[in-house]
Amino acid sequence: MMPSRATLPPALLPALLAAASTLFGPSAAGAAGVVGRVDKVERQAVAVVEGQSRDMTPTGPVYFSDMIRTGGSSRLEAKLSDGTVLTLGEHAKLTVDEFVYKPERQGGKLGITVARGAFLFVGGKIEGPTGGNVAIRTAVGTLGVRGTTVWGGPIDGGFGVLVLDGLVTVNTPRGRVTLRKGEGTMVYSGRAPQKAAPWPEDRTKRAVATISFTPGR
């Protein structure tokens, strides 16, 4: 049974959004290149910058150019200083490689590279009223986002993208597709992205599971 074109099954949306439940107020990126803070960690996550690694722990800093990696059965949620929320599943690797934000101004610029694993992105103030300020680079191409909550990651033998809110354009070497709220696509090696369409409920549930924390963590 497929979900309706406009919406996902109501029980699933709260589970996805729970990974990014509370945004903190805007603040400038601090000294030493701090662009955010860790909110939650389940099991293991480390950051590597200039060959030095450190464990990521709740309330700990996220620095510009940190390469964040999660271990097996691990999860991490971090909040950037503009309110953007990033959640990673297991065996993920993410780098914030562009971050321009001034609290007194709308907009800015945010570039994120997700080299592997599943993620959930909830946009903050950098997106601004018209979007176009955020690029998420993945193994299959670049996601341009606008007013967005979006999941991405490996699933069913390919790479999936599912939009929970807003608008996402998936650009790959083989083609592009624009997704609206409730729509997803699959990208398989050497092929153009599939047409935008609601996902089967089973696939949506499995996507949710990749970025969900164990209750009580």
Q: Where do the domains of the chain lie? A: 12-27+87-211
The architecture that CATH gives domain 12-27+87-211 is Sandwich (2.60)
- Distance, in Å, from the CA atom of 51 to the CA atom of 49, rounded to the nearest integer, reads 5
- Answer yes or no: are the C-beta atoms of 203 and 156 closer than 8 Å: yes
The label of the residue with tokens 């790479």 reads 159
Q: How far apart are CA 26 and CA 28, in angstroms?
A: 7
CA distance 38 to 83: 12
Residue 127 structure tokens: 């997106």
Triad 156, 201, 10: Cα angle to 5°: 140
pLDDT (tens digit per residue) in 72-92: 999 999 999 999 999 999 999
Q: What is the pLDDT along the chain (217 residues), one digit of tens a residue?
A: 333 334 455 455 445 544 433 333 333 334 459 999 999 999 999 999 888 999 999 999 999 999 999 999 999 999 999 999 999 999 999 999 999 998 877 668 999 999 999 999 999 989 866 667 899 999 999 999 988 999 999 999 999 999 999 999 999 999 999 999 999 999 999 999 999 999 999 999 999 999 999 997 6
Tell me the H-state helices in 27-107.
none
